[in-house]
Structure 1
Amino acid sequence: MQTVVPPAVSAILLDIEGTTTPISFVKDVLFPYIKENVKSYLHTHWDEKECQEDVDLLRKQAKNDEELEGAVLIPEWCSGENADKEQALEMVTNNILWQMSQDRKTTALKQLQGHMWREAFLRGEVKGEVYKDVAPAIKEWRKEGKKVYIYSSGSVEAQKLLFGYSIEGDLLELFDGHFDTKIGSKIKAESYREIAKNIGCSTDNILFLTDVTKEARAAEEAGARVILVVRPGNTELTEEEEMSYSIITSFGELLLSDLKAN
């Protein structure tokens, strides 16, 4: 099956997990790396400015989470030069592991994860996994004058690492820009309006490719066009969802005009 992209589309916005990259890479490689190495990473980098900024952001997030059931808090004394390092390390580590167990998408968590993954990618311990159909398709879209952007819960830095150090080589030149949760939640319509403003187009000019129906609904509410991506290992769609959206299983199934379809 092939899906025709309306001529009005000038920008293609891509999710990562389950869209450009297997969910298994995120769940079986990236997240376990954080869980296994977070305490040693914090111990090694604790006295560095970047790490202290990460800890301070995590502490502020923990304060906002005080009312959540089971929340793991980080006292104020855990950040700064006078912190008891070992006790602080334990509390910050426990907070990170709790957030991950709840599948939180907070900017504080994603920032720390991004810094850890940067070290892993630069050392060659991890390489970004990208579906084989992704790079060839994006190259074709760009030849046709389309702009291509990434919008992911992972930090912009983490996105650039994944594509810059991928098994397919450095793919960063394929993208015109990157967005993360700093612009807003992926399940809020306003986020897609903000992205359109940032790009300099109408939401009607944006095609969003994602595997998550909550994100698809938010983008649609904002006026963007949406196609769901079905990949191996993705959450199975309901019959209603299958009826409600255009679906592709490969980027190669997108056609950029009716002329190409004939």
Structure 2
Amino acid sequence: MATVTVPANTSVFLLDIEGTTTPITFVKDILFPYIREHLEEYLSDHWEEDECKQDVHLLKKQSEEDLRQHRACPVACASQSGQTDEEKAIREVVEGVLWQMAADRKTTALKQLQGHMWRAAYATGRIQGEVYPDVVPAIRAWRQRGMKIYIYSSGSVEAQKLLFGYSIEGDLLDLFDGHFDTNVGAKVESQSYVRIAERIGVQPQDIMFLTDVTREAKAAEEAGLSVAVVMRPGNMELTDEERSHYTTVTSFGQIA
């Protein structure tokens, strides 16, 4: 296993989650199916709670915005015989959420509801966050050398903390110095990485970014970060040009 030497000025590791610290299958085969399978049950159980009411309010505002923007959106379900107003309202929310998920939308309203559902699932042990076995030992070694470790993922900060706080390896939150999500900007925009460097209080060239997505790697590189592309089972295959351009690793253990 070839070792990758980190640039001497590096003081921060910035880590992607899906396909980097955590198998893509965890998100696709566990997290998202959990939402689809338990959405109606969750809404019915929490419908009268303030947090759920806020989630539903945001989803309805998003739906109204989609209509204004002439985006396709689900037709409100027709009232069925014997169906209460609450049941009808829940059904409409379910249809809207499932439509957003099928369209791979990443709206704040959708991410907020998903985060609240996952929080309940993690807390009751129905879900445990997955991390590759090489991740925790590597991070501990980096921290011992004085490195700071941050997460940057398209999943909300709350969802990130749930994954690492209720992981198969136990509570790992103490390993991280902070978390960033798309509130700081899209991961394929170089300015997002400049903002992250500013918030951490370092120069972009002091950060090494690990991701499995070359579009993100390109944006980070343009911002001045050093980059390594992580090649895990199930990740997108790299082209020959990408392999020759980027430093690649198959395990965090390769990063010395």
Q: 1-side partners of 2:223 and 2:70: how far apart?
A: 29
- Paired position in structure 2 for 1:227: 228
1:63 Cα deviation after fit: 3.3
Tell me which amino acid in the other structure corresponds to 2:183. K
Q: 1:195-218: CA deviations, max 9, x gaps? A: 111111111111110001121122
Q: 1:173-228: CA deviations, max 9, x gaps? A: 10000111222211122211111111111111111100011211221222222110
1:149 Cα deviation after fit: 0.5
Q: 1:85-130: CA deviations, max 9, x gaps? A: 2232122211211121122222221111111011001101111111
- Paired position in structure 2 for 1:252: 253
1:64 Cα deviation after fit: 3.4
- Paired position in structure 1 for 2:172: 171
1:68 Cα deviation after fit: 5.6
- SS of the equivalent of 1:13 reads strand
- SS of the equivalent of 2:149 reads strand
- Paired position in structure 1 for 2:73: 71
Q: 1-side partners of 2:70 and 2:201: how far apart?
A: 38
Q: 2-side partners of 1:135 and 1:165: how far apart?
A: 14
Tell me which amino acid in the other structure corresponds to 2:16. D
Q: 2-side partners of 1:98 and 1:148: how far apart?
A: 36
Q: 1-side partners of 2:157 and 2:123: how far apart?
A: 16
Matched, 1:218 2:214: no
- SS of the equivalent of 1:3 reads coil
Q: 2-side partners of 1:68 and 1:214: how far apart?
A: 29
Question: Structure 1 unaligned runs (5+)?
Answer: 75-82, 256-262
Tell me which amino acid in the other structure corresponds to 1:5. V
Q: 2-side partners of 1:217 and 1:136: how far apart?
A: 27
Instruction: Give the direction of change, closer, same or farther, for the CA distance of 1:60–1:187 in structure 2 (3 Å limit).
Output: farther
Tell me which amino acid in the other structure corresponds to 1:237. L
* Residues 62 and 73 in structure 1, CA contact (< 8 A), matched pair in contact too: no
1:61 Cα deviation after fit: 2.6
- Paired position in structure 2 for 1:137: 138
Task: Give the TM-score normalised by the residue count of structure 2.
Answer: 0.91
Instruction: Give the direction of change, closer, same or farther, for the CA distance of 1:9–1:64 in structure 2 (3 Å limit).
Output: farther
How many pairs are equivalent? 247
* Residues 66 and 72 in structure 2, CA contact (< 8 A), matched pair in contact too: no
Task: Give the TM-score normalised by the residue count of structure 1.
Answer: 0.89
Q: 1-side partners of 2:112 and 2:106: how far apart?
A: 10
- Paired position in structure 1 for 2:237: 236
- SS of the equivalent of 2:72 reads coil
Q: 1-side partners of 2:57 and 2:209: how far apart?
A: 34
Q: 2-side partners of 1:21 and 1:73: how far apart?
A: 36
* Residues 130 and 163 in structure 2, CA contact (< 8 A), matched pair in contact too: yes
